[in-house]
Amino acid sequence: MKKLLSLFALLVVSPSVRLLAADGAVEGWHARTFGQAVGYMVLFALIGILLAIAGYKLFDRCTPGDLHREIIQEKNLAAAVIGGAIILGVCVIVAAAMIG
């Protein structure tokens, strides 16, 4: 858990702290190089995937029954469709938040 928190601090908090430049001017999140663009893409993809998984797990906890067990062990197609819809819904929300 400690490693996860330090990784979060390195990836999320550090760039936001660096937004304020030394001369007091505020820098944006726009990438200046191709490497920065790829780095931001990977960062946002990882955050999006983690949030999609967290949203699925939260939905599974808040509803009666065990959705994950229904999908994996019982091979319930209807439960799989519901699980997929939940993940897609969370991904649409995360994408809209990232855009703007």
Query: Would you list the domain boundaries of the chain?
Result: 2-99
CB atoms inside a 10 Å sphere around CB 67:
20
Residues 52, 87 contacting (CB under 8 angstroms): yes
Could you read off the pLDDT of 57-88 as tens digits, one per residue? 999 999 999 999 999 999 999 999 999 999 99
Residues 16-59: tens digit of each pLDDT: 545 555 565 556 778 889 999 999 999 999 999 999 999 999 99
Q: What pTM was computed for the model? A: 0.66
Amino acid occupying residue 12: V
User: Half-sphere exposure of 66 toward its Cβ, with a 13 Å CA cutoff?
Assistant: 7
